């Protein structure tokens, strides 16, 4: 048990030191806290469709008892 604890301890220290070295390398290349991306974040037609579909589904659930209808359907109208 003692040996196991020491192995885990050493592994932890090695991990921390490695992480520090990687962080140092990131800083050396101008890292300032956020990972930059090449992709431009723009609002595309597919995003509009997603918003409309999701919004539509949630408002449907708000005004129509959708889960109960599904239950009815599954239990063949018995419930």
Partner 1 sequence: MSHHLLEFCDVRFRYPDGTEALKGVSFLITHGESVGIVGANGAGKSTVLLHMNGHLLPTSGAVNVGEVPLRKETRPEIRRKVGVVFQHPDDQLFMPTVFDDVAFGPLNLGLPPDRVRERVHEALRQVNALALADKPPHHLSGGQKSAVAIATVIAMKPDILVMDEPAASLDPKSRRSVINLLNSFAHTKIVASHDLDLILDVCARCLVIREGVIVADGPAPDILSDATLLSENNLELPLTLQGRTGREEARR
- Give the nearer residue to partner 1 in terms of CB position, either 15 or 59: 15
Minimal CA–CA distance to 35: which of 23, 17, 19, 18? 23
Q: Which stretch binds partner 1 (CB under 8 A): 29-37, 42-50, 51-59, 64-72?
A: 29-37
Distance CA 19, CA 47 (A): 37
Least distance (Å) between residue 79 CB and partner 1: 49
- Give the nearer residue to partner 1 in terms of CB position, either 4 or 37: 37
Confirm or reject binding of residue 41 to partner 1 (CB under 8 A). no
Alpha carbon distances (Å) from 77 to 67, 68, 70 = 13, 10, 10
3-state SS class at 76:
coil
Confirm or reject binding of residue 24 to partner 1 (CB under 8 A). yes
Confirm or reject binding of residue 37 to partner 1 (CB under 8 A). yes
């Amino acid at each position: 048990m003692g040996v196991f604890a020491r192995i885990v301890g050493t592994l932890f220290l090695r991990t921390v030191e490695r992480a520090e070295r990687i962080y140092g390398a990131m800083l050396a290349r101008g890292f300032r806290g956020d990972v930059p991306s090449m992709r431009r974040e723009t609002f595309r037609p597919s995003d509009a469709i997603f918003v409309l579909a999701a919004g539509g589904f949630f408002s449907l659930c708000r005004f129509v008892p959708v889960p109960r209808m599904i239950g009815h359907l599954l239990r063949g109208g018995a419930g």
